[in-house]
Amino acid sequence: MRLEASLAIAVALAATLAASGACGGSLSISVPDGQADASADGRPAAAWPEHVYPANSCAPGGDGSYVAQAYPTLDAYCMVSLVKGQPTYGAGIVPYDLNTPLFSDYAAKRRAVYVPPGKTAKYSATEVFDFPVGSVLIKSFGFPDDARKPAPVMRWIETRLLVRVADGWKAYAYLWDDAQTVATYNPGGGALQVSWIDGAGTKNEHGYLQPSQTQCQQCHEDTGKVTPIGPKARNLNRDYAYDGAKENQLAHWAKAKILDGAPADPTTVPALAVWDDAAHFSVEQRARAYLEVNCAHCHDADGSASTSGLFMWASEKDPLHYGVCKEPLSAGGGVGARTWDVVPGDPDASILWFRMASTQPGLAMPQISRDVVDKEAVALIREWITALPKAACNK
Ligand code: HEC
Ligand code: HEC
């Protein structure tokens, strides 16, 4: 099992670790020169003319002014902070997990949702839930010092927010400092270096690409506007250990009165496959779930890759749409003699597999926010293509 899943249990035990001082470990993060346009107090100078903080005491939601602009530092939202090395949330904020996540250079992730008191998100069976103004979705990215430890020391790199404003969503990113005490608004993104030891004891040193604010929209796009991606019934339909007590997430959201209209019985709601759970899902289900969460937000009729004609929702029934014997409309450079996105039975001849296994600019897919190859997923997609009923693709 990969990092994200195995860590879920391990880091829950990390409460014994010191909050900040213990975060040295073998992990080093460096921000390239010129990335942070810092003023004397270390905060980016141009991003905000004046520092605006909520007028009242620190309660999630504050005076609501967070819907108008990004705060200079994450603490001002009173929503998430690092306590004993773990993202810890303000009152009423509900942590959640997904059946199948986005791959982000092997980072471990934590997610949570805030819905203003007295309001609810509206359930949808197929689309992202409709969140009320003032809602905030919170996602933190980090690496363990050594994933073999029962309670690895986490080095959190960034926390991303999606904030629901009157006419849509705003996407903001915050970069954690080395001391793990302050996260500063960082709209420019950047390339970082991470070093960590995985569950097999291998030391990994590689890049981590923090997307810029303009790149957020390339993935979080629905007909030209920013939109959340994860909070859909099928990807949320799973159990989560709330303070040790397991409960279905959809049932919990309804009980917490942040979700309205969900079916009373979550077993009647479809669930997306868990991409790395071979015990419960077929290769086909896992491959299609992975492609949905990692590709379909761009590769669908309303996404930024709509013109590719390659549509990767797991529910897509037409094999041609998800690439089988499909000639690319824009193949990127250097696909060699490969002619089709997916050639049944032949991953080496399949452009889709080849571009996932690449890190070359202009070729790699996804083309942003990925510095290293997702080896386990590339193996899964290989297995899936190999097992597709053999058929000759014809021009
Ligand atoms: C390469 C595509 C990609 C880029 C770039 C990207 N995201 Fe996301 N993001 C996703 C996907 C896919 C999910 C849902 C799956 C998950 O959470 O693992 C997600 C989830 C989130 C979530 C949790 C709520 C949700 O929509 O599921 C937040 C908050 C978020 N992203 C913020 C941002 C911000 C802010 C940026 C830019 C700094 C950004 N993202 C850039 C693909 C991307
Ligand atoms: C951030 C948006 C984005 C994400 C995420 C993304 N793609 Fe793409 N993809 C594009 C764009 C834009 C094009 C067209 C330009 C090009 O070919 O480089 C494209 C083209 C392609 C093509 C050529 C397709 C054709 O038929 O024209 C393949 C194959 C492909 N992507 C595979 C993938 C796979 C597999 C994933 C997920 C693992 C993925 N992409 C994720 C934006 C994205």
Of 63 and 214, the one with more pLDDT: 214
pLDDT of residue 32: 32
pLDDT range class, residue 119, cuts 50, 70, 90: very high
pLDDT tens sequence across 71-92: 999 999 999 999 999 999 998 9
From the CA of 98, the nearest ligand is: 1
**202 class by beta-carbon count within 10 Å (0-12 exposed, 13-18 middle, 19+ buried):** exposed
What pLDDT score does 59 carry?
A: 84
> Which of 356, 365, 378, 382, when mutated, tests ligand 2's pocket best, judged by the most ligand atoms within 8 Å of its CB?
365
Of the pLDDT bands very low, low, confident and very high (cuts 50, 70, 90), residue 345 is very high
283 lines ligand 2 (CB under 6 A): no
CA 379 to chain centre: 21
Q: Is residue 65 helix, strand or coil?
A: helix
Residue 252 dihedral angles phi and psi, to the nearest 5°: -65, -45
Q: Which residue has the higher pLDDT, 39 or 156?
A: 156
DSSP code string of 138-168? EEEEEEESBTTSSSPPEEEEEEEEEEEETTE
CA distances from 135 to 114, 252, 338 (A): 5, 17, 45
What average pLDDT does the segment 227-241 reach?
97
Q: What local confidence, expressed as pLDDT, does residue 57 receive?
A: 58
Nearest CA to ligand 1 atom 2: 219
Q: Is the CB of 188 under 6 A from ligand 1?
A: no
Q: Which atom of ligand 2 is nearest to the CA of 308?
A: 27
Over range 117-137, report the average pLDDT: 97
How far is ligand 2, taken at its centre, from the CA of residue 130, in Å? 27
pLDDT at 142 over 80: yes
The CA distance from 21 to 24, in Å, is 7
The residues, any chain, with a CB within 8 Å of residue 219's CB and separated by 6 or more, are: 211, 229, 297, 298, 304, 366, 368, 369
Cβ of residue 366 lying under 6 Å from some atom of ligand 1: yes
pTM: 0.89
Confidence category of residue 332, pLDDT binned at 50, 70, 90: low
CA distances from 50 to 69, 71, 173 (A): 11, 10, 19
Q: How far apart, in whole angstroms, are the C-alpha atoms of residue 186 and residue 142?
A: 16
Mean pLDDT, residues 210-231: 94
- Over pLDDT 70: what percentage of the chain? 85
Cis omega (within 30 of 0) on the bond before 32? no
Mutate to test the pocket of ligand 2, among 222, 227, 295 (most ligand atoms within 8 A of CB): 295
For the chain, how big is the Rg over CA atoms in Å? 21
How far is residue 239's CA from residue 213's CA, in Å, rounded to a whole number?
32
Cβ–ligand 2 contact at 295 (below 6 Å): yes
How many Å lie between the centroid of ligand 2 and the Cα of residue 311? 10
Query: Where does residue 212 fall: left (phi above 0), alpha (psi -120 to 50 degrees), or beta otherwise?
Result: beta
Tell me what pLDDT residue 6 has. Answer: 40
Give me the pLDDT at residue 58, please.
Answer: 78
Angle 84-5-272 from CA coordinates, rounded to 5°: 130
Q: Identify which has the larger pLDDT, 8 or 230.
A: 230
Angstrom distance (rounded) from CA 174 to CA 157: 9
Asked if residues 220 and 169 have their Cβ atoms less than 8 Å apart, the reply is yes
- Kindly write down the DSSP assignment for every residue of 305-341, as one continuous string: TGGG-----TT---TTTTTBTPPPSS--S--TT--BS
Handedness of CA 90, 93, 99, 102 (dihedral sign): negative
Residue 259 has pLDDT above 50, yes or no: yes
Instruction: Give, using CA atoms, the residue closest to atom 31 of ligand 2.
Output: 365
- The pLDDT tens digits for 8-47 are 333 332 332 223 333 333 333 333 333 333 333 333 333 3
pLDDT tier, 5 (very low <50, low <70, confident <90, very high otherwise): very low
Q: Which of 4-13, 40-49, 107-116 has the lowest mean pLDDT?
A: 40-49
Which of 59-62's residues contact partners 24+ apart within 8 Å by CB, and which partners? 59/90, 59/91, 60/89, 60/90, 60/91, 60/92, 60/93, 60/114, 61/114, 61/116, 61/117, 61/134
* Cβ(170) – ligand 2 distance below 6 Å: no
Average pLDDT, stretch 109-135?
A: 97
Task: Choose the residue to mutate in 111, 115, 220 for probing ligand 1, maximizing ligand atoms within 8 Å of C-beta.
Answer: 220
- For atom 16 of ligand 2, the residue with the nearest CA is 332
Structural domain boundaries of the chain? Answer: 3-260, 283-387
Q: What is the mean pLDDT of the chain?
A: 86
Atom of ligand 2 nearest to the CA of 363: 18
Distance CA 191, CA 155 (A): 16
Instruction: Name the pLDDT band for 242 (thresholds 50, 70, 90).
Output: very high
211 CB under 6 A from ligand 2?
no
* pLDDT score for 72: 93
Least confident of 19-23, 117-121, 130-134: 19-23
136-144 and 154-165 as β-strands: parallel, antiparallel, unpaired?
Answer: antiparallel
The answer, yes or no, to whether any atom of ligand 1 lies below 6 A from the CB of 173, is: yes
- What do you get for the CA distance between the two ends of the chain, in Å? 40
Q: Give the residue-averaged pLDDT of 371-385.
A: 97
Residue whose Cα lies nearest atom 26 of ligand 1: it is 228
| Structure confidence at residue 55 (pLDDT) | 47
Nearest partner of 157 among 205, 216, 109, judged by Cα: 109
Residues 278-284 have a mean pLDDT of 98
